[in-house]
Structure 1
C-alpha cells in the first residue's frame, strides 16, 4: 500500500502546526486551548519539529530585509520542510509569500469563528450601530462581536472580541453589565467604551462612572468620567486621565496620533486592515508620526506614511503589506 504525502506524520504535523499558529495569534485563545497546544507539542518529535519550523518562519518576518525577500527576482526565504533544525534555504517564488498568505488566511478564518456565535458583529474595517430593546445603544468598532442577554434581573452583554461604545438607558431595576474574558464592567448610569485585546480589556468612561471587576476578582468600585484603566485575569491597573475627544475619534471613523511611534500606528492600522501589515526589521518601529487617518481605507493611511517618513510600502499579496526603510 502506497501512502500519499498528506498521510505522513510529518505532513500532518505541519498542517496542525499551521493551525496552531493561527489559533495562538488570535485574541480568542483560551487557557484550555493553550494547554491543549502544549500537550500537542509534547506528543511527538514530529509535532515539535513542525512547530519550530512554522513559528521560526512567522516570527522571523520582523528580522527580514528586502534582500531576503528578493521581490524583484522572485526569490524568497523559506524553511526546509525536510529538516526544521537546518538553517533556512533559498527557493524561488514559493516559500515566504505562499506560506505567509496561508498562515494569514488561516488566522483570519479562525478569528471569524466567534462571529457565528454572537448576536451582533462587524467585519474588519466596518462599524455597526445597534439599538437595544431597552433604549440603550451599542456602536461596534472593527472586527467586533457582542451578544445580548436581557432578563428581568439584569441587562447582560458579552463582548466576545473587539471594541464597543455603550450608551446606557436608565433602568434602576436592571443593572447593565458588559462581560469579557478579562472581567466585567457595570454601568453606573453612563456611556463608556470597552476594548478587548490579547485577553486584556480596557474601559474608558465618557459619562458618569462604571464599576470594574477583573477576572481575578479585583474590584474598582468607581471609575469616573474621563478616566481609563486596563483589567485582566492578573488584576486592574491604576486609572489614568484621557482626552475624551481623542478617545472618541473612532466613533467618527478617525484615528488620531500625536508623536506616536510607527509601531503603534501599524498595530492600530492592523485592526482595520483586511490582512497583515508587517514592518521589516526594527529600524522603523520608533519613527515618530503625528496625523489623523480615516479607518475606512488603510491604503490611504499607508500612502500618507510613505510620503511623510523614510518608509517604503510594498504590497506582497492582497492580505500582506510590508513596510521597509527607503
Structure 2
C-alpha cells in the first residue's frame, strides 16, 4: 500500500467521521474507490481498522496527536500499547510497508534533515522519507519519499530505488519516489541510471526524467527552484493553486481540503516550509480566500464571502 493511497484513505475516513460529508463527498469517495483496485483494497483495510478502534472513547483516541513521535524501532516494540491511543484515521495514514518502519533514517511529515556522510558527501531527506544507508557498500536505498545527494568525490555512491539504481560521483542529484515510479533530477555533473532491465543511460546537469517499471523516460530541462525544499522553501511561478496545494499537503499532517473552484487560481511566490499555517494565511490574504480550521489537523480553504 503506497503512502499516497493510505493518506487518501485516511482523509476520506476522517471526513466521514467528522459528520460534515455531503452527498457530493460520498459520490467522490465512491469514484475514488472505483478508480483503482488498490484504492478499494486500502479502503476496506481502513474500514477494518475503524471497526477495531470504534469502541475507544474519542478523548482517548485523540490523546496522542500532539505527542512527539518516538523512534521507528522503539515504536515497533511498543506497537500494541501505542495502537490503543491512536485515532483511526491517523493510524491508517501511517500504515506503511514494514521497510519504512525499519529504515535506518527517516523523517516524519513536515520534517527535513541534512546529514553529512563520513566521505564528505551529504544527504538530505525531504518530508516523510525513509532510507537505508550502507556506507561500507556505498549504497543508499530510498525506501520511500525524496532525497538529495551530493557526492563531491570520484568514488561513486549508489542510490537504489524500486525502479532501478543510480551511480553518483562528482554530482548532485534529487530522487523522488512516487507511487508509479521515480523522478530523477540532476543538479550538477552526470549520473548513470540503470533501469530494472539493466539498460544504462546518463542524465546530465539540468535534466530531469521519470524512472519507472518500463525504464527511463525522456528527459526534460527543469528549474532548480522546483527543488527549493532543500533550503526549506516551496516556490511557485504562476502555478495552479490546486497543484500548489497538493504539493503543500506533503508537509502538513492531517487533512487539507479546498473547494474545487480554487483549482485554477494562480499563485506566485516563495514560501517557507517551516510554517505551513502561515503559507495558508498568505494565500488567503492575496487570493481572497477564507481559512476554516476545525482543528490544527483539519483545514479547509474556500473563497471569502464578499
- TM-score with structure 2 setting the length: 0.70
2:126 aligns with 141
Matches of 1:238 and 1:200, distance apart in 2: 14
Q: State which of 166, 172, 176 in structure 1 corresponds to 2:149.
A: 166
Matches of 2:3 and 2:130, distance apart in 1: 18
Distance 1:303 1:134, change over 3 A: same
Asked if residue 181 in structure 1 is aligned to residue 165 in structure 2, the reply is no
Q: State which of 278, 282, 299 in structure 2 corresponds to 1:300.
A: 278
The answer to whether the Cα contact below 8 Å between 1:156 and 1:179 also exists between their aligned partners in 2 is: yes
The answer to whether the Cα contact below 8 Å between 1:179 and 1:185 also exists between their aligned partners in 2 is: yes
- TM-score with structure 1 setting the length: 0.66
Asked if residue 124 in structure 1 is aligned to residue 109 in structure 2, the reply is yes
Unaligned segments of structure 1, at least 5 residues: 1-22, 30-53, 62-67, 80-84, 86-97
Distance 1:25 1:214, change over 3 A: same
Q: State which of 161, 175, 191 in structure 2 corresponds to 1:194.
A: 175
1:229 aligns with 209
User: Which string of whole-angstrom CA distances, capped at 9 and with x for unpartnered residues, describes residues 223-270 of structure 1?
Assistant: 0011111111133221111222x1342221111100001111111111
Q: Secondary structure at the match of 2:90?
A: helix
Matches of 2:287 and 2:272, distance apart in 1: 18
1:247 aligns with 226
Matches of 2:179 and 2:218, distance apart in 1: 19
Deviation at 1:214, TM superposition (A): 3.0
User: Which string of whole-angstrom CA distances, capped at 9 and with x for unpartnered residues, describes residues 57-87 of structure 1?
Assistant: 93997xxxxxx99xxxx963379xxxxx9xx
User: Which string of whole-angstrom CA distances, capped at 9 and with x for unpartnered residues, describes residues 97-144 of structure 1?
Assistant: x9xx95641233224964431111122222111122322110111111
Unaligned segments of structure 2, at least 5 residues: 24-29, 31-57, 59-85
The answer to whether the Cα contact below 8 Å between 1:27 and 1:197 also exists between their aligned partners in 2 is: no
RMSD (Å), alpha carbons: 3.4
Does 1 or 2 have the higher relative contact order (CA < 8 Å, sep 6+)? 1
Matches of 1:126 and 1:75, distance apart in 2: 31
Q: Secondary structure at the match of 1:194?
A: strand
The answer to whether the Cα contact below 8 Å between 1:27 and 1:161 also exists between their aligned partners in 2 is: no
User: Which string of whole-angstrom CA distances, capped at 9 and with x for unpartnered residues, describes residues 145-171 of structure 1?
Assistant: 1111233xx411101111111011424
1:312 aligns with 290
1:286 aligns with 264
The answer to whether the Cα contact below 8 Å between 2:148 and 2:175 also exists between their aligned partners in 1 is: yes
Structure (1 or 2) with the larger CA radius of gyration = 1
Distance 1:104 1:113, change over 3 A: farther
The answer to whether the Cα contact below 8 Å between 1:119 and 1:145 also exists between their aligned partners in 2 is: yes
Q: Secondary structure at the match of 2:192?
A: strand
Q: Secondary structure at the match of 1:306?
A: helix
